[in-house]
Chains A and B, each alone.
Chain A
Amino acid sequence: MKFIKITAFTLFTALFFTSCSNDDEMVTPQLQIPLGNYASGVLILNQGNFGTPNSTMSYVSDDLAKFQDNIFGIVNPDETLGDTGQDLGFYGDKAYIVVNNSNKIEIVNRYTMKHITSITVGLSNPRYIAFYKGKGYVTNWGDGGSDTDDFVAVINLTSNTVTSSIPVAEGPERIVVENDKLYVAHKGGYNFGNTVSMINPVNNAITPITVGDVPNSLVENNGTLYVMCEGKPSWSGSETGGKLVKINLSNNSTSSIAFATTSHPSNLVIDNDLMYYTEGSNIYKMNVTATSLPIDELFSTTAQGVYGVYSFAVKNSKIFVGDAVDYSSNGKVYIYSLSGVLKKDYTVGVIPAGFYFN
């Protein structure tokens, strides 16, 4: 008797579940309409998972009143942004999106997101972009396993083609232009770098400047280039602490402030002569002229469950924190006041990698 009951039950549940699987329960994504104007706000580049073409972009207006996710996809339904959105640069009315594992740059109108064209030739493991006199300069790792094929690609912004390349030391990462020179931080790619290259774009002459181990951010302020170096990680077997290096751009002389050996800071930004950086889940603030490090953090993001700040920006009296969550889920963006009071949070695409103020 009991068997029959169990059997009947299993049969019933089977039928029930099968009927569930049919059509009407399937979710159809809602039609989303582009906002039409993505000015006066911040573009958030969501990297997506490495190896998967799920990089996306989100938009938050300056007054935090408007938010839209997947803006590139909504405006350009026939285009795929690609695999691992790495960096975005503005030049004129265009935005250049460097897509690392897709080895390409997508060019869109910075205000409408309308796709203009793609650069797919001449890049190899592209990382970051900067602009100077009608040209784009893009750092490239080449093959990650090779330490001799790294270069800076030079892009003609009229024809949108890579016209030449400048071979550089291994692992070129961040790039900025100051005083008619390119400054490239050699984070090191698959290895650990410890230099910044000063490149003269007129004759491609390179002057290496030694900084700390693994330079991850470059910011210029009042004739000084501030370089945040995170140091070598513990697993490298020769752990080194972080270092904040200041390069005097008039003569390339350097001075530095050292962190503790187990301290690995990143995400340096400067806003109104105040430096901000992150370490783990904490945000720190110091004056650009300070000669010692702050003892206490400005605030911590642990209340929001941020497990290591992934991306970071300070602008318009707001602090922006990108949280990669578990690197599979959609990411989170938290916006704080300058004193660390949470004002707003948004769910964005997978792995928010950078903030670009439009």
Chain B
Amino acid sequence: MSLKKLVVIFLLFCCQYALAQDTIAIKLQEVSVSDLLLKKHSESQSVLKLSDSVTKNNKPSLTNLLNYNSLIYFKENGLGMVSSVSFRGTTAQQTAVIWNGININSQLNGQTDFNTISTRNLNSISVRSGGGSAIYGSSAIGGSVHLNNDLIFKKAISGEVLVDYGSFNTLGTHFNGKISSDKIASQIGFSRNSSDNDYTFPRTNKKNENGQYYNNSLNVNFGYKFNEKHFVKFYNQSYNGERHFSAALGSVSKSKYQNFDTRNLLEWKAFFNAFTSTLRFAHLGEEYKYFENAGKDAFSFGKSVTAIVKYNAEFHLFSKMTINGIVDYTQTKGSGSDLISDVRKIGSASILVKHNVTHWFLYELSSRKETTNQYQSPLLFSMGTVFKPLSFYRIKLNGSRNFRIPSFNDLYWEGSGNKDLKPESSYQAELGHEFFTKNVSLQLTGFGMKISDMIQWKPNLSGIWTPENVNQVKTYGLEVVLKGNKAFGNHGFDFSSSYGFTKSINELTGKELIYVPNHKWVTNFLYAYRRFSINAQVLYNGQVFTSSDNENILTDYMVFNSGIRYGFGKKQNYKVGFQTANITNENYQNVLGRPMPGRNYTFNINLNF
């Protein structure tokens, strides 16, 4: 009965391994999944897949989800404010965010603000560690975060309402509807989050002021099947949000920030015997407005519009080998109140090979070359292999060259931009061991990378801040991920714990990079009994340096969260839950002078029909 369901949900917590998959599953996957390369060309790296159920157990911002479920370090300027990441010790511009296979990092600043993405309208979120530029392009150095919507052609009609309400008048309302048949697959999702965000800093009488925010996002996805061979799919996402930027400690702020993003993707996929053809068009728009004084009309702004055409020809040889040839063309126009308007055109060609030699050995190769009128791009590549000598043990090896192209701000900021910048580029390697049984898995991954031509903004001799390719960074680390689940009688357990050790060293100074913790540890535990489930989360972030001479630090901290849920209805279609975050009321900051909230509560209802 319901227990079986629970077990299935537990299983979804785990990464999916499986070297060989049966053909029906493959076909289903080919049709429904938007980012196929993630599945097919990431076997020699570690991919953490967070299912829908994990997502729902966490607050709706991508920051919150990944902070408590992955080893990515978040630099958040106070709750809900600008949030950037450090993945495997790299900078915010060295993590790529991929929406249905398309790189959506801002063209203006080269990074993604993880508080401008709502997780509620996505079917799955994956974290792919390590280099991926040969497939995903710029920024996939530390790793990439994949936001996916799946369209399934199967007769079904369903709806879901999710409401979260909690401390600081924080309200999230989310609606998802799906209607599909053998011919049509459609989804619509709407999500709105808002908060007064006026939390008291733990153990002080000071409040977070001017931190209120709201955001809306709308997702519309539609697929049409002409026949067994031809499919057309359309994905759309729009987001608009307004955040007042809260003040740092001891300061006052009156500013606010609005951003508006649209993403459209049209895909035509055709299946022939040993050949699959995929043609994609994407259109991405981003725009921000910054109001120095929220009470006035004056603002500064920046925007970019990107158009992408991408063609992917996939050949299947001897049922064991696939070869993809991909060509794409991207054109981006950037402009803004402080930017010199310009158009960037990038063409690229790549080849990807994957060969399942035997059931215990496979290798994958990929290579990509970009050309643009603005700078020289290195030849990117990735080589990986998976070797499974024992039924419970697998070893993965991957080496790659990756890059991060200069952003529009780096190149064209009025008075400061440097048009002579080169891309940052890296050589990196990782070695992973995986031990797994039916209920338990252990992953150990060691990695190292060398990044050269790192772009740093610094004042030149005339005192003008300008970016230069000055730094060389050496990063190494180790990740340990332990997972387990067990069900017996009416009881179900699920456990996952990850620990990351990271060192990022500026080779010119011998000092560590700022805001890279040496240690991060996250643990999630879930226990279910009949209709009840209880979950607990622990996050430990080691100390970080806040100045490049490593003289100033932010101390380490540990945060505990816990929640309880109860399912109603025959199939537990209706759930109510209550979560407590930061149970110990820890006073912590992950960016200097930006305290995070103390103990706070959320009540939620989830209805499926």
Contact = CB atoms under 8 A, between A and B. Distances in A.
Interface of A: 3, 6-7, 10-11, 13-14, 17-18, 21, 26-27, 51-54, 79-83, 101-104, 120, 143-146, 233-236, 264, 280-281, 307-308, 324-330, 347, 350
B461 A308 contact: yes
B583 interface: no
A117 to B, nearest CB: 15
A91 to B, nearest CB: 23
Nearest to A125: B292
Contacts of A51: 248
Given A54-B593, A83-B593, A143-B298, A103 B552 contact: no
Interface in B284-333: 292-293, 296, 298-300
B480 interface: yes
B293 A143 contact: yes
B250 A329 contact: no
Contact of B431 (A6, A26, A120): A6
Given A13-B446, A145-B292, 7 more contacts: A6-B431, A14-B499, A82-B251, A101-B251, A102-B250, A146-B296, A330-B551
B549 A325 contact: yes
Interface in B515-564: 518-519, 521, 540, 542-543, 546-549, 551-553, 555-556
Interface residues of B, number: 49
Interface in B372-420: 389, 393, 395, 414-416
B249 A53 contact: yes
Interface string B495-519: 0000101000000000000100011
B252 interface: yes
B88 to A, nearest CB: 15
B21 interface: no
B296 to A, nearest CB: 7
A26 B462 contact: no
B446 A10 contact: yes
Contact of A54 (B296, B444, B549, B592): B592
A3 B251 contact: no
Given A10-B446, A329-B549, A81 B499 contact: no
B463 interface: yes
B343 interface: no
Given A14-B478, A145-B298, A328-B547, A234 B462 contact: yes
Contacts, number: 121
17 contacts: A11-B444, A13-B446, A14-B501, A21-B519, A21-B521, A21-B540, A52-B593, A82-B250, A83-B248, A104-B252, A143-B292, A146-B298, A264-B463, A280-B462, A327-B458, A328-B514, A329-B548
Given A10-B446, A14-B501, A83 B300 contact: no
Given A6-B433, A51-B248, A83-B593, A14 B415 contact: no
Contact of A13 (B298, B478, B549): B478
Nearest to A22: B519
Contacts of B552: 54, 330, 350
Contacts of B551: 329-330, 347
Contact of A52 (B292, B459, B463, B592): B592
Given A7-B433, A350-B547, A103 B252 contact: yes
A21 B542 contact: yes
A156 B200 CA distance: 33
B464 interface: yes
A11 B514 CA distance: 27
Contacts of A7: 433, 444
Nearest to A142: B293
Contacts of A120: 252
Contacts of B547: 328-330, 350
Contacts of A101: 251
A149 B462 CA distance: 29
B252 A10 contact: no
Contacts of B395: 3
